[in-house]
Structure 1
Amino acid sequence: MTGTEYCNLHKDSPDKAYNALFGCYCDYVYTIVFNRLRSVASREDIEECISDIFADVFFGYSPENASNADMKGYIGTIAKRRAINVFRKLTARQKHLSDETDEDMLNISSDTNIEASSDEAETRTILLNKINELGEPDSTIILQKYYYDRSSAEIAELLSMKAATVRMRAARALNKLKSLLTGTGIAL
């Protein structure tokens, strides 16, 4: 819709002009606002912002400035600026609320031992890296046997081997894994 078309509609009927403007640019404005506010705003906040944008355009667009150019740039600029203002307002409110609760959060204790959890995660990472260093099919045999708790027969079927071969390779791979882990200070 061009500025001239909008002004002509507005002269005939302001309601028709508003409805035509909304119908033509609603999706465009919604996309701009949603992309800016989706992380901080509720659905109601987004809808209110969109309504405010169309009110700004409806009351702020003057027939003197009307041109044959598309109104998309004008509406996009208003939408972007209004969405940024709402974003700033909402994040300031959330920051203010979080500042008040920071002191309360300091008084809450946790039964989780972060240091122990971190050590366990690091040990798991080292263990998986060392298992991968064993190469195939030994790494698969160890993971299937000790992580997935599969029997030698099930692993043999999976790898197209004999169960006795899987058991022998598992024992050798476990010994090799123990020696690899000894160098890192981890004992099985």
Structure 2
Amino acid sequence: MTNKELADMLQSSPAECHRALVKEYGRYVYAIVYNKLRGCGTNEDIEECVSDVFADIFIKFEYNEKYTDDIKAYIGTVAKHKAIDRFRSLIAANSHTVYADEDDMGELVSDFSMNEHIESSEMRRVLLDKIDQLGEPDSTILIQKFYYNRNSNEIAKSISMTAVAVRARCSRAMSKLRTLLLEAGITG
């Protein structure tokens, strides 16, 4: 579908245009959104984001005669931006904030050590780097299991594997990770 075809169809029958657009580009948009949200979102989050992409296309689409080519690039860009925005909002919603009383704050401040904080941050950075070195799907499995506390069934659904395969991959990935951490001089 070209830019002009979309504009013409949108003028003649918006409902028909919507059906044709979803039929032609639905899987493409879903693939983009799924790849951005698979590590942090549920299937409902992914489907809602796909719907938001098509809604955004209809609300903001403006025909421009300079662009008569296929609109796939435009749709892909909208899908990518919407998925990134949704990813950020999901991450922000999943981060937990703990509020303490003023009495507790004195204990926290006195126990806080800048050196420990720096060492902890460096350790997290190295750990995430080593997990990333494992490659897919091992890195995704470990991140979802240990950072998002998801079980094997939830992980299996999000990465299209069986729960048994996820458990086996997780076990092997943990062995590889231990080796990588030992090589980096980190023992636990």
Q: TM-score w.r.t. structure 2 length? A: 0.50
When Rg is computed on C-alpha atoms for both structures, the one with the higher figure is 1
Q: TM-score w.r.t. structure 1 length? A: 0.50
